[in-house]
Amino acid sequence: ARDGTATRYTVVQRPAQVEILPGVLTDVWGYDGLFPGPTLRARRGERVVVTHHNDLPVPTVVHLHGGHTPAASDGFPTDLVLPAGPAATSRTGHGGMPHGAGDVRRGTREHVYPGDQPAATLWYHDHRMDFTAPQVWRGLAGFHLVSDDVEDALPLPHGERDVPLMIMDRSFGADGELRYPSLDASLAGPPGVSADHTSGVLGDVLLVNGRPWPVLAVAAARYRLRLLNASNARRYDLALDPVPPQGPAFVQVASDGGLLAAPVAHDHVPLAPAERYEVLVDFGAYPVGTEVTLTNALGTGPTDAVMRFRVVRRAREDSTVPARLAAVPTLRPRRDAPRRTWRFARGRTGTGHWLINDALFDPARTDATVRLGDIEVWRFASDLHHPVHVHLAPFQVLSRGGRDPGAFDVGWKDTLDLRPGEHADVAVRFPAHPGRYLVHCHNLEHEDMGMMATFATV
Ligand code: C2O
Ligand code: CU
Ligand code: CU
């Protein structure tokens, strides 16, 4: 609904049964009972107010990933929305006192998104302290798409040729139930789920927009695919099979934070948790009747392919690949710009903890204070693979491992996949909102096991 000053959405978080695997119903926790949640749409320059009601049996927190959001609406992990109904105790930890000094509400919370950011593929998901991973696993994730005039003026594929694809892995039991390693049991986990202290939790069934191994009928024309990795911990390396007879498989037009300055051709796309790559794929390069598989070079067996596109008919092409996309100002840190290092590494073996600068997340502690409007240089360093995410402020990659950033690091990023033993420097500027925000690993098991830190903007 639009009321003149804002676009308003109401979302009810509730248990639901949905058909994910053919012919069986799976219990999920869904935004509006959907898996994934409803796609919310926003327009640059328009305020969006999203009211969430919690009809689940556990506390929740809503975060808009990639949003330039006032702190009160950003979903700090202790800003809980308690269940609306009578409190039920469960082994997922509800019933105790909330951690730290959060802004705790019962039943409902309004989230205000000012809309002061360019067109981009954002997503919203749960962010409850210590329980983000299992709550997202049960279904609490959805797209939030921001559009603007710059994007509208480009001849990109649109309408049904603009397709958001939320990719995730899950595991199912014999009766179709979602399986996640019990929080108090050993991390060995049930069959079909692999979990250990290193990888986080991996499922053996890949889902796209909540469906396993789907096939999308496409016209022989160019499409825009908005690729989002909403998996807890799984990384992908996506390619097309067969490769197109001519031209690159993918032409990237946007990164996490919106349109690139100019398109970048790729023959494959790596996708770490929470990253977004928006790519153009020209199905017009294939003969009608071709089935094109989106493959995953990092998968094995059932996880080595994601979905299929079936080229079903000829079509008029009404898009082109523009030479220029959007004005992307380059962040140029001053010589004396503040510098900080965030080191992502496991605690001593056996503790099961993942740390930033040797510390566990503590919602009562502020790990850094930054000034609004400043450009800082942040160094991320890692022991293993860690998809590093910063709230509020998109960043630009200055270097990786001491070298120029690669072709996959272009544009505005909010999540950067660090490789084992790697460090990367990024330039980051903090938009208008004072308050406290997070930097964390977006491997959700690592996040829940403490790999998260707080920075304050002043
Ligand atoms: Cu996508 Cu702090 O999260
Ligand atoms: Cu985020
Ligand atoms: Cu990690």
> In this model, does residue 392 exceed pLDDT 60?
yes
Cα four-point dihedral sign 365, 371, 373, 377: negative
Task: Report the chain's mean pLDDT, rounded to a whole number.
Answer: 93
Q: Tell me which fold the domain 6-148 belongs to.
A: Immunoglobulin-like (2.60.40)
Average pLDDT over residues 28-55: 98
Q: Which ligand is nearest to the CA of 386?
A: 3
Which tens digits make up the pLDDT trace of 408-433? 999 999 999 999 999 999 999 998 89
Q: What is the pLDDT of residue 353?
A: 87
Specify the ligand 1 atom closest to the Cα of 66: 1
Which tens digits make up the pLDDT trace of 239-251? 999 999 999 999 9
Q: What is the pLDDT of residue 185?
A: 47
Beta strands in 301-414 (DSSP E): 305-314, 339-346, 354-356, 368-370, 375-382, 386-390, 395-400
Which tens digits make up the pLDDT trace of 170-185? 999 999 999 997 643 4
Sheet holding 40-43, edge to edge: 40-43, 141-147, 120-126, 62-65
Specify the amino acid at residue 41: R
Separation of 388 CA from ligand 1 center, angstroms? Answer: 10
Q: Which pairing describes strands 108-113 and 47-54: parallel, antiparallel, or unpaired?
A: antiparallel
What is the C-alpha to C-alpha distance for residues 276 and 284, in angstroms, rounded to an integer?
Answer: 24
Q: 142: burial class by Cβ within 10 Å (0-12, 13-18, 19+)?
A: buried
In this prediction, residue 347 has a pLDDT band, given cuts at 50, 70 and 90, of: confident
Q: What is the pLDDT of residue 193?
A: 72
Q: What is the pLDDT of residue 190?
A: 62
- Which value, to the nearest 10 degrees, does the dihedral of the CA atoms of residues 241, 247, 249, 252 take? -170
Specify the ligand 1 atom closest to the Cα of 452: 2
Instruction: Say how many C-beta atoms besides its own lie within 10 A of residue 347's C-beta.
Output: 17
Q: Which ligand is nearest to the CA of 275?
A: 1
Separation of 448 CA from ligand 2 center, angstroms? Answer: 14
DSSP H or E run through 181:
none
Average pLDDT over residues 297-326: 97
> In this model, does residue 101 exceed pLDDT 80?
no
Q: What is the pLDDT of residue 352?
A: 74
Instruction: Say how many C-beta atoms besides its own lie within 10 A of residue 330's C-beta.
Output: 7
Beta strands in 95-220 (DSSP E): 105-106, 108-113, 120-126, 141-147, 162-170, 193-196, 200-203, 205-208, 211-212, 215-220
Could you give the C-alpha distances from 66 to 29, 116, 125, 438, in angstroms and in order?
Answer: 23, 12, 11, 12
Cβ atoms of 67 and 50 within 8 Å: the answer is: no
98/373: higher pLDDT = 373
> In this model, does residue 407 exceed pLDDT 90?
yes
Q: What is the pLDDT of residue 100?
A: 57
In this prediction, residue 3 has a pLDDT band, given cuts at 50, 70 and 90, of: low
Q: Which tokens in the block code for residue 172?
A: 């199912």
> Whose Cα sits closest to atom 3 in ligand 1?
65
Separation of 63 CA from ligand 1 center, angstroms? Answer: 7
In this prediction, residue 56 has a pLDDT band, given cuts at 50, 70 and 90, of: very high
Specify the ligand 1 atom closest to the Cα of 415: 1
Q: Which ligand is nearest to the CA of 124?
A: 1
Q: What is the ipTM of this complex?
A: 0.99
> In this model, does residue 98 exceed pLDDT 60?
no
- Give this prediction's pTM: 0.95
> Whose Cα sits closest to atom 1 in ligand 1?
65
Separation of 319 CA from ligand 3 center, angstroms? Answer: 39
Q: Which ligand is nearest to the CA of 394?
A: 2
Extents of the domains making up the chain? 6-148, 159-314, 339-457
Q: Percentage of the chain with pLDDT > 70?
A: 93
Separation of 335 CA from ligand 1 center, angstroms? Answer: 30
6-148 matches 159-314 in fold: yes
Which tens digits make up the pLDDT trace of 181-240? 764 344 555 667 776 657 899 999 999 999 999 999 999 999 999 999 999 999 999 999
Q: Is the CATH code 2.60.40.420 the one for domain 339-457?
A: yes
> In this model, does residue 364 exceed pLDDT 70?
yes
Q: What is the pLDDT of residue 181?
A: 78
CB-based pocket (< 6 A), ligand 1 = 63, 65, 125, 127, 274, 389, 391, 438, 440, 442
Q: Nearest CA to 379 among 356, 362, 359, 406?
A: 356
The CATH superfamily holding the domain 159-314 is Cupredoxins -  blue copper proteins (2.60.40.420)
DSSP 232-247: SS--EEEEEESPPSSS
Specify the ligand 1 atom closest to the Cα of 125: 1
